[in-house]
């Protein structure tokens, strides 16, 4: 008995000691409105940039961004490597729940779609801040609707664009002579080449986007996808999708019983020779990967004739971020023409820029003109037909329905 009492006292002392490790409490200040004030305040801050870290090229780019920003603005960037962006959302929500309304641990988060909607709906984002960024004036707000509307949700300045993505298909030109150019053609190709294509797990955004892409071509009127579905409309609208998928699934890699976890895992399968055709969200994926030795030199890219889903990746600042000024410096740096050109270089990440090149001066455009070409890159004409992302609810419902149907 005495031993127990002693143990409990010691336990309390241990708890108390632990609080020594607690971070010091500092007062969060509302960010200044003026850019030079922001730059001044940002100096010395360390920005916890929460970003999905499953891609080495993107990680290297973020590291490069960190070096540049440290040199130019005296702001440190700490890349918090996420397995899934939802981890950052969870953190912010947990902090809100725990009453930590200032000095939050997430300063900047790479985000879009459902995760943005989740934070926006709960009022957990700081903003509007995008228009305060000096480089925001270059953003293409006329031709690229996805820079303003994120999965049908108006951005309203609560997130700032930094890269664009569009669905393409990567194939091995040595083994695939006639790549499919439509959703029905994909099924025909898969039937003729069983086990040679797959898609990422449907819980992964690329996997669900694969299904949404199919849905786009299979529904009579794609406009319905811009509104959230009702129970009845979901069943009727997606019926052709499931019919198509039921036919496709047995022809997939591992008979559709296993799926790669995400895009990079799928790419590794292609590099290992396990598949010949794969979906990608980066039009430069083939060029990037072959230049990095991650795919054979024979890979090429194909885009569906009727257009493919395209979206924009953003960065957002949580409402309780401790280093909002530093986070804005990072967001602005990501929009700089030189940064955007660096990101678009297929030897780096190969992302399509979010800027309107017509808004740039000749000098600012020069690095874009100087970018190298590669036979694995699609032409800009091929990428012209961009389809808007459906409302986020379609994605969550398709994922749930897929799990209900195929997870036994």
Partner 1 sequence: MDDPHHGRVGAAVHEVTRARGGVLRLAPALTVAVFLLPIGAGLIGTALPAFGYLPAIGGRAFGIAPWRELFASPGIATAVRTTVVTGIAATLVSVALALGFCAVAHGRRWTRRIGGMLAPILATPHAAVAIGFAFVVAPSGWIARALSPWLTGWALPPDIATVGHASGWPLVLCLVAKETPYLILMIAGALHQVPAARHLGIARMLGYGVTEAWLKVILPQIYPQIRLPILAVLAFSLSVVDVALILGPSNPPTLAVLAVRWFGDADIANYFPGAAAACLLFAIVVGAMMAWVALEHAGEAVGRRWIARGTRSGAASIGARAAFAMTIALCAGSALAIVGMSIWSFAAQWRFPDALPGSLTLGNWSRLWASLAVPVATTLALALAATLIALLLVVCCLENESRTHRRAGDRALWILYVPLLVPQIAFLFGAQVLLVSTGLDGTFGAVVWAHLIFVLPYLFLSLADPWRALDPRYARSATSLGATPLELLLRIKLPLLMGPVLIACAVAFAVSVGQYLPTLFAGSGRVATLTTDAVTLSAGADRRVIGVYALLQAALPCCAYLLAVALPAWRMAHRRARWT
Within 42-81, the residues that bind partner 1 by CB under 8 A are 48, 53-56, 59-60, 63, 80-81
According to DSSP, residue 283 is labeled T
- Contacts of residue 405, defined as CB under 8 A and 6 or more positions apart, other chains included, come to 242
Q: Which two tokens stand for residue 302?
A: 């194909």
Helices (H), 301-374: 324-335, 337-344, 362-369
Binders of partner 1 among 242-271, rule CB under 8 A? 253-255, 257-269, 271
**Smallest separation, CB 60 to partner 1 (Å):** 7
Extract the tokens encoding 196.
């040679």
Toward partner 1, which CB reaches closer, 384 or 404? 404
Contact flag: residue 274 with partner 1 (CB under 8 A): yes
Strands 46-52 and 108-111: parallel
Number of residues that bind partner 1 (CB under 8 A): 75
Cα–Cα distance for residue pair 299/346, rounded to 1 Å: 14
Beta carbon of residue 340, minimum distance to partner 1 (angstroms, whole number) = 23
Nearer to partner 1, 260 or 318 (CB): 260
Task: Give the dihedral sign, CA 281/283/284/286.
Answer: positive
Measured from the CB of residue 314, what is the shortest distance to partner 1 in angstroms?
16
Q: How far is the CB of 91 from partner 1 (least distance, A)?
A: 6
Rounded to 5°, the CA angle 393-219-275 comes to: 85
Q: Cβ closer to partner 1: 60 or 366? A: 60
* Alpha-carbon gap, residue 276 to 384, rounded angstroms: 25
Which residues from 144-203 bind partner 1, rule CB under 8 A?
Answer: 194-195, 201
> Which residue, 195 or 367, has its beta carbon nearer to partner 1?
195
Coil, helix or strand for 213? helix
Shortest Å, Cβ 294 to partner 1: 5
Instruction: Write out the binding residues for partner 1, residues 117-136 only, by CB under 8 A.
Output: 118
Asked if 272 is part of the footprint of partner 1 (rule: CB under 8 A), the reply reads yes
């Amino acid at each position: 008995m005495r031993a127990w009492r002693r143990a409990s006292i010691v336990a309390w002392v241990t708890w108390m000691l632990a609080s020594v490790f607690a971070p010091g409490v500092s007062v969060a200040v509302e960010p200044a409105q003026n850019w030079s004030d922001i730059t001044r305040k940002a100096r010395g801050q360390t920005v916890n940039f929460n970003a999905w870290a499953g891609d080495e090229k993107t990680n290297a780019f973020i590291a490069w961004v960190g070096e540049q920003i440290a040199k130019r603005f005296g702001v440190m960037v700490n890349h918090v490597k996420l397995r899934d962006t939802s981890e950052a959302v969870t953190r912010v929500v947990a902090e809100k729940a725990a009453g930590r309304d200032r000095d939050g641990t997430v300063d900047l988060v790479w985000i879009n779609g459902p995760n943005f909607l989740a934070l926006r709906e709960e009022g957990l984002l700081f903003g509007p801040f995008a228009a305060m960024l000096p480089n925001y004036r270059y953003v293409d707000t006329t031709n690229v609707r996805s820079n303003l509307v994120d999965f049908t949700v108006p951005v309203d300045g609560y997130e700032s664009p930094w890269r664009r993505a569009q669905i393409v298909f990567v194939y091995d030109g040595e083994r695939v002579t006639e790549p499919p150019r439509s959703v029905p053609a994909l099924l025909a190709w898969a039937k003729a080449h069983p086990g040679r294509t797959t898609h990422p797990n449907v819980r992964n955004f690329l996997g669900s986007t694969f299904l949404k892409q199919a849905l786009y071509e299979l529904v009579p009127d794609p406009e319905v996808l811009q509104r959230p579905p009702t129970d009845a409309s979901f069943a009727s609208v997606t019926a052709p999708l499931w019919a198509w998928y039921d036919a496709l699934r047995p022809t997939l890699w591992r008979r559709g019983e296993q799926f790669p976890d995400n895009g990079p895992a799928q790419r590794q399968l292609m590099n290992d020779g396990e598949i010949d055709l794969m979906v990608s969200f980066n039009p430069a994926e083939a060029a990037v990967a072959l230049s990095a030795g991650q795919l054979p030199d024979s890979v090429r890219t194909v885009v569906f004739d009727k257009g493919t889903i395209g979206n924009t990746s953003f960065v957002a600042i949580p409402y309780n971020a401790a280093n909002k000024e530093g986070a804005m410096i990072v967001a602005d740096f990501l929009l700089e023409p030189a940064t955007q050109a660096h990101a678009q270089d297929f030897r780096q990440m190969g992302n399509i820029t979010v800027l309107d090149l017509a808004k740039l001066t000749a000098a600012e455009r020069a690095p874009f003109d100087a970018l190298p070409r590669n036979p694995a890159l699609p032409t800009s004409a091929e990428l012209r037909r961009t389809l808007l992302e459906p409302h986020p609810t379609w994605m969550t419902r398709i994922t749930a329905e897929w799990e209900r149907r195929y997870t036994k």
